[in-house]
Amino acid sequence: MAEYELVIRARRAVTPEGVRPATVAVRDGRIAALAGPGATPDAVSVAELPGHEVLLPGLVDTHVHVNEPGRTEWEGFATATQAAAAGGVTTLIDMPLNSLPPTTTRAALTVKRAAAGPSAFVDVGFWGGAVPGNLAGMAGLHQAGVFGFKAFLADSGVPEFGSLDAAGLDAVLAETARLGALLIVHAEDPGVLGSAPDPAGRRYAGFLASRPAAAEDAAIAGLLAAAARHGARVHILHLASASALPLIAAARADGAQVSAETCPHYLTFCAEEVPDGATEFKCCPPIRDAANRDGLWAGLAGGVIGAVVSDHSPCPPGLKRREAGDFGAAWGGISSLQLGLPAVWTAARRRGCGLTDVLRWMAAGPAALAGLPGKGAIAAGHDADLVAFDDTAEFTVDPARLRHRHPVTPYAGRTLTGVVRRTWLRGQETGATPAGRLLTRS
C-alpha cells in the first residue's frame, strides 16, 4: 500500500520559508511531509506542476455574503463555493446578514448550517451577528462555534440586521470581551453620513460625496476608544479610508487588540476611473481616489492592514439598476470571489510585491484572524488545501465564464494576470461533487 494518497511536485511553492522547490506529500487530507524537489515518496497519485505554475496554499476569505437561505436567488452556497474553488479560495467564512434568517441566534445558525452542508465545494465557517436585541443570545452562538460577531455602526441596508448605537456597541464590546470573542465591525458613522449629500443620481462623484472618508475615520476612532475601555478585540472590515490608518497604528502601539482588512476592489480601482452610471462599482464604503488607493497599499506594506478579502456581496442584476445608473437606488456590493487572487496579484506585481506578500494577505492573515491554525500555509500538519497558479498567464474577464450566480462585476473586460489551473481541498481536486466541510471555531 502506498504511503501517501497524493504527492505534488512543484519547481516553485510558496511556503512560510519563502518560494522554493517542494515535494508535498498528502495523507488523510493533510500535508504529511514537505521535502525538496528530489524526494520520491510513494503515492497513489502524483501531480507534477509545469515550471510556469506555482503551488500556493489555498486562500482563506473571511468576508463573503452567501445570502442563503432566504435570498438564495442572490447567490447561494453551491454557486459561491464553486466560484471560490475556481478562484483558489478553499475556505470561506460566511457573513451573518443578507440571509433570512440572519445568523443572530443559535437556531438561525442551525438553519444556515443545514443549507450549506450539502452544497459546499470548499470549507465554510460562519460569523454570528451582534444586533439590537440579541445580546443575551451571543454566548449561545459563541458556544455553537461562530468565529466571532459582526456589527454595523450605520444602516446595514437590510431591515432585519439592525445597527448598534453607542450604548449598544458598548454593551456588545463588554460581552465579547467577557466571552473572549472577536467583534468585526462595519465602521461608518451615521451622523457623518446623515449630514452628507444625498447619493441619488448617475454621478459617481455624488455617490462618493455621500460616503466621505470622515464617516469611516469617525466611526473607527469611536470604536477604538470603546474597545480600549473594555479590553475587547476588534477587527475593522473593508477599510476604504487610508486616512484612518494612523488611528489604527496608534491604537495598536498603545496595546489595542485591533486588526484591519481591505478588499481587492479598493486596491484595484480608483474613483477617477469609475464612469458615471456604472453602478456595478457601487459598494459601501466606496472606492475612493487614486491617492487613497496608494495609501491602502502603504498600509499593507507597513503591516497596519493584515488581510485582503473579497467582501463578495452579490445581488440579482435588477437590483444594480444598471439601466438607470442611479447610485442612490442601486444595491451596494461587488461580486469578486473568483477574481480576488488575480486582481490583487495583477496590482501587487506592478508595485514590486511578490507572491509571498499576496499569500500573507490572502491566506495566512485571514486564517490567523479567524483562528484557523490548519489553514493558510503549505506546512506539515496543515490541511492539504493547495492551488496550482499560473502567475504569468493573462486573461480578460468575461462575466459569463464566472461561477457566481449572476454575471455582474466591475472587473468585466479588464485584463488580469494569474490563472488558477487546479485547486485541491484536503488533497482532493475540486470538481463536480461538493466536498467542503462546515467549520467551527476551535
What's the pLDDT tens digit per position in 15-52?
Answer: 999 999 999 999 999 999 999 888 888 899 999 999 99
**Could you say which DSSP state residue 348 is in?**
H
H/E segment holding residue 234: strand 233-236
- Supply the pLDDT for residue 38: 82
The answer, yes or no, to whether residue 407 has pLDDT greater than 90, is no
pTM: 0.97
The H-assigned helical ranges of 232-274 are 245-253, 264-268
CATH superfamily of 57-373: Metal-dependent hydrolases (3.20.20.140)
**Could you say which DSSP state residue 166 is in?**
H
Mean pLDDT score, 265-281:
97
Mean pLDDT score, 48-67:
98
All residues at 6 or more sequence positions from 264 whose CB lies less than 8 Å from its CB, including other chains: 308, 310, 336, 339, 340, 343, 344
Q: Residue 365 — very low, low, confident or very high, per pLDDT cuts 50/70/90?
A: very high
Q: Residue 2 — very low, low, confident or very high, per pLDDT cuts 50/70/90?
A: confident
- Supply the pLDDT for residue 134: 97
pLDDT digits (tens, 9 = 90+) for 166-224: 999 999 999 999 999 999 999 999 999 999 999 989 999 999 999 999 999 999 999 99
- Supply the pLDDT for residue 173: 98
Mean pLDDT score, 247-260:
97
Cα Rg of the chain (Å, integer): 21
- Supply the pLDDT for residue 442: 81
- Percent of the chain whose predicted confidence (pLDDT) is above 70: 100
Render 85-134 in DSSP notation, one character per residue.
HHTTEEEEEE-SSSSSS-S-SHHHHHHHHHHHGGG-SSEEEE-EE--TT-
